[in-house]
Structure 1
Amino acid sequence: MGENVILVTGATGVLGREVLDRARRTGLPVRAMTRRTTLPDDPGVTWVTADLESGEGLDAAFDGVATIIHCASDTRKPKHDIPGWRFLLDAAKRAGVGHIVNISIVGVDRIPYSYYKIKVEGERLLAESGIPWSNLRATQFPALLDTAFGVLSKGPVVPVPSKTVCQPVDPGEVADRLVELAQGAPAGRVADMGGPRVYGATDLARSWLKAVGRRRWILPVRVPGKAGAGFRAGGLVTPENAVGVRTWEDYLAAKPSR
């Protein structure tokens, strides 16, 4: 296997697909990892089957890999992410991987939400692994907000967290940054990455409803506990790192009509 092989985990996900597209453009050998046993015919990419939940197939998948861009995450059963991290790190050590680039979320250390706690633990395991690493925290992807509003708007009222702001960032732009990091030296925790604008949650809901042609009441709801306090304190945004270009309005304008 040639040098400088980049492997992408979670290569079939929203972010993974974007990362894979950017990695292809580098001209470096690229490997994409999936749990699927039927692999796509994808020019310029070597697809491999491996499972982070069990560790099966990781040694073969990582053989000859210089850099891993880790995008895989089980959002439905996030508790699987921690065993997945351990399998990934152990296999990466055996394979002599020289750099792991991880994607995380802005606010994971400020909002005690269960999934965020798992992301923080993953960051800790990486930092303590002894493998050189880079870690990027990004704000919310528009598709996530889109899905949430789609669910919340099924009734006559759309509940949204009160006094909460968000900063949607384009996943393609995050992918650009991850691939840039993968081609550079391990940098530890790098500057957070946010979209170009900060929006109130109610404003996001209002613009989404207009874009999809739905009439609903918007109901600001005070989220209780420390997580709600973190939302209201601006834990989801990084206005000092508003480096994204594509806006929420751009995303809505590109949505197919419903």
Structure 2
Amino acid sequence: MQVLVTGGSGQLGRALVPALQAAGHQVRQMSRRGTGPGGVRGDLATGRDLAAAVGGSELVVHAASDPRGDPWQVDVAGTRRLVQAVDRDRLQHLVYVSIVGVDRVPFGYYRAKFAAEQVLLASGLPVTLARITQFHPFIDEMLATARRGPVLPVPMGWQAAPVDVAEAAGFLTEVAGGPPVGDVVEFGGPEALSAADLARAWAAAREPNVHVVSTPLPGKLSAAFREGSVLPSARAARGRRTYAEHLRGQHLSA
């Protein structure tokens, strides 16, 4: 199919584009600058060039997001602009890349992602909402940022099920090639780990002199992470590559 990937230049997009191409699709990747092979210009925040970028697409994988900027403008209003721009006579499937827990975690970015899901469900388009757990490199980044010299404080009791980026791209490629479900599908890592376990594994591999300290963190957000709100449900599909294998640079055999 003729496929458009929004956010094609991001971490997930860089794995997703070749996965879709390997499945036989003709892929264009949309970004504000339109750079790179198969790049087309389109701006979700303003709507500029959006209709031209989306026009003719039979499949859209909507992976663009703005967690560090204004997600309400890009993720929510931008998704609304995307809905208005697609060719409804040609579009067969729109897959939206979301996050496990957006419906349960009281965090502004998650609320924006959940609102974008609602925009799509109300659009009348053939959609699938693909919620995925945190990627391995995101865990690395969070732990590196949290480090304070020889000490790495982590929230006590928080849980996560991090997943391999390439495996997430493979899952999305399978979902995109199937029929729209008009609902949520989930994909998560192979194991649920506490923040302390993740931090100790990261420290052993990257910063062996760092001491991990679990710190109680009050509030509703912390309670949601302790209660497992970002863990995939029992029905979720699961990746195979563990966080420990990621830290060792170990890849799975086919």
- Length-normalised TM-score, structure 1: 0.90
The alpha-carbon deviation at position 21 of structure 1 amounts to: 1.1
Q: 1:173 aligns with which of 167, 171, 187?
A: 167
Indicate the larger mover: 117-126 or 190-199. Answer: 190-199
Unaligned runs of 5+ in 2: none
Which residue in the other structure is 2:141 paired with?
147
Which residue in the other structure is 1:10 paired with?
7
Q: CA RMSD in A?
A: 1.7
Whether 1:61 aligns to 2:53 is yes
Which residue in the other structure is 2:199 paired with?
205
Report the Cα distance in structure 1 between the residues aligned to 2:233 and 2:189, rounded to whole angstroms.
8
Indicate the larger mover: 27-36 or 149-158. Answer: 149-158
Whether 1:89 aligns to 2:83 is yes
AA partner of residue 177 (structure 1)? F
Q: 2:44 aligns with which of 44, 49, 52?
A: 52
Indicate the larger mover: 243-252 or 88-97. Answer: 88-97
Paired residue secondary structure (2:86)? helix
- Length-normalised TM-score, structure 2: 0.92
Whether 1:28 aligns to 2:21 is no
The alpha-carbon deviation at position 242 of structure 1 amounts to: 6.0
2:128 touches 2:185 (CA, 8 Å); kept in 1?
Answer: no
The alpha-carbon deviation at position 118 of structure 1 amounts to: 0.5
AA partner of residue 199 (structure 2)? A
Report the Cα distance in structure 1 between the residues aligned to 2:95 and 2:115, rounded to whole angstroms.
15
For these two proteins, the number of residue pairs brought into alignment is 247
Paired residue secondary structure (2:162)? coil
Unaligned runs of 5+ in 1: none
The alpha-carbon deviation at position 94 of structure 1 amounts to: 6.2
Which residue in the other structure is 2:242 paired with?
247
Report the Cα distance in structure 1 between the residues aligned to 2:58 and 2:116, rounded to whole angstroms.
20
The alpha-carbon deviation at position 190 of structure 1 amounts to: 3.9
Indicate the larger mover: 205-214 or 68-77. Answer: 205-214
2:186 touches 2:233 (CA, 8 Å); kept in 1?
Answer: no
The alpha-carbon deviation at position 143 of structure 1 amounts to: 0.6
Report the Cα distance in structure 1 between the residues aligned to 2:54 and 2:233, rounded to whole angstroms.
37
The alpha-carbon deviation at position 142 of structure 1 amounts to: 0.6
Q: Give the ranges of 4+ consecutive aligned residues of structure 1 lying more than 6 Å apart after TM superposition.
A: none
